[in-house]
Amino acid sequence: MSTRREILALASGAALTAAALPAPAHAGGRDDGWIATWAAAPTTIPPGTPQELTGQTVRQVVHTSVGGNRLRIRLTNEFGTTPLHVGEVHVAIRAGDGASTDARPGTDRRVTFGGQRSATVPAGAPLVSDPVALTVPPGADLVISLYLPDRTPVTTVAAFAFQENVIATGNVTAATRVTPTSTIPQYVFLAGVSVHGGGGSGAVVTLGDSITNGANTVTNANHRWPDLLAARFRKARIGLGVANVGISGNRLLHDPNPPAGDPAEAFAAWFGESALRRFDRDVVAQPGATHLVVLLGVNDLGHPGTVAPPGEVVTAADLIGGHRQLIARARVAGLRTHGATILPFKDDTLGFYTPENERKRSALNRWIRTSGEYDEVIDFDAVVRDTTDPQRLAAAYDSGDHLHPNDAGMAAMAAAVKLGGFQHR
């Protein structure tokens, strides 16, 4: 099986553009004051990689964008084939930073579902908690602890968290500090957190692949470009949450489809359903969603012939058609759309680059920049490319695989986003 870094690299990124539409008062579902402050898009697991938890607590760290005085948690069993029994759930403000999973004393709260401390999440479904009275500062970290008392196959995960989460023995959901038996780089059965009462005006949903998900940034540092954009919103006093639903390896048009016998069978399921398939679940269902940012397409170019069948080769027209579908569906949901250009990837280490793929990338980027179909354009390509060879990532922004930006590249991407397009609906 490939190394973890290689797998992360396979989950590549694409381009963002922006479009502006006035949104109705009910944008993103009901206008009930709940706003997504954090999200992770769920996927299934690859065959042959089973994991089970029995009588254990999973403690997970999430980095919020906007704050509030109440919160709700969204659990997910969306790829499970049997009901998921959760014995107890607690949430607290995190103490410390980095790899710490300690809870700040005095902030621990039990999470209930229909007034009950335990919950059963139906197969193939999410479950949203009751409101929890807890003041969450903007940009704070939460620790969310799930106790799984029964033999529980792990079926639904966000495979690349870029945050170290832990598993501990027994029901230690209310403990200030837990003793880990293992550390995991995933989010397990956890898909979102929303807040209420913080004065926020809506949420930005960032739909993308590994570049949006955070590859290959420093673990535990929250250096994904959506996190850094959220920090800019806070500094500018723009009350928007950010829900990052990037999935490493995700494609716009196709689900994972590794050829039989290919090594990619060991990890491709983590690449998630196509953006067109998951759009309603991962974008429209986000509480308070008002804006959509799209950075997708590079995996559609690079996967066929590497980790997907050559028969799934796409044209620039295919990609443009997919983007148009996202725009149309976003408008139905009342979302203002932002599209971003695909980053350069000449001489990448994954075999994505060919002169033909470069022509397709250029054609897609030209359409994003000039068609006017997205309300606004975020030109990531122009920000991170090498000025002497625009088909390459600038060396200062290259994580080493010539495809994914490093932490400095992520900061440059976030800094390039024009905030004015997010200040009206």
Residue 367 has pLDDT above 80, yes or no: yes
Instruction: Find the helix or strand (DSSP H, E) in which 376 lies.
Output: strand 376-378
Q: Using 50, 70 and 90 to split pLDDT, how confident is the model at 14?
A: very low
Look at residue 193 and give its three-state secondary structure. Answer: strand
Alpha helices by DSSP H, listed for 174-294, are 210-213, 225-235, 275-279
Residue 202 has pLDDT above 60, yes or no: yes
Domain that holds residue 156: 43-196
Domain assignment present for 38: no
Domain-terminating residue out of 148, 176, 196: 196
For 88-100, what is the mean pLDDT? 97
- Tens of pLDDT, residues 204-254: 999 999 999 999 999 999 999 999 999 999 999 999 999 999 999 999 999
Residue 3 has pLDDT above 90, yes or no: no
Name the pTM for this structure. Answer: 0.93
- Quick one: 187 and 211 in the same domain? no
Q: What is the pLDDT of residue 425?
A: 64
Sign of the alpha-carbon torsion through 178, 180, 181, 185: positive
- Quick one: 367 and 334 in the same domain? yes
Count of the separate structural domains present in the chain: 2
Residue 194 has pLDDT above 60, yes or no: yes
Residue 7 has pLDDT above 90, yes or no: no
Q: What is the pLDDT of residue 13?
A: 36
For 105-115, what is the mean pLDDT? 98
- Quick one: 184 and 317 in the same domain? no
Query: How many Cβ atoms from other residues are within 10 Å of residue 373's Cβ?
Result: 17
> How far is residue 76's CA from residue 63's CA, in Å, rounded to a whole number?
18
For 142-148, what is the mean pLDDT? 98
- Quick one: 132 and 223 in the same domain? no
Domain assignment present for 296: yes
Residue 359 burial class via C-beta count within 10 angstroms: exposed 0-12, middle 13-18, buried 19 and up:
exposed
Domain-terminating residue out of 179, 196, 213: 196
Query: Strand pairing partners for 158?
Result: 187
For the chain, the C-alpha Rg in angstroms (whole number) is 20
- Tens of pLDDT, residues 295-336: 999 999 999 999 999 999 999 999 999 999 999 999 999 999
Q: What is the pLDDT of residue 424?
A: 66
Domain-terminating residue out of 168, 196, 224: 196
Q: Using 50, 70 and 90 to split pLDDT, how confident is the model at 31?
A: low
Q: What is the pLDDT of residue 423?
A: 85
- pLDDT: is 186 or 8 the higher one? 186
Q: What is the pLDDT of residue 49?
A: 74
- Quick one: 266 and 351 in the same domain? yes
Residue 131 has pLDDT above 50, yes or no: yes
| Residue type, position 405, single letter | P
Q: What is the pLDDT of residue 115?
A: 98
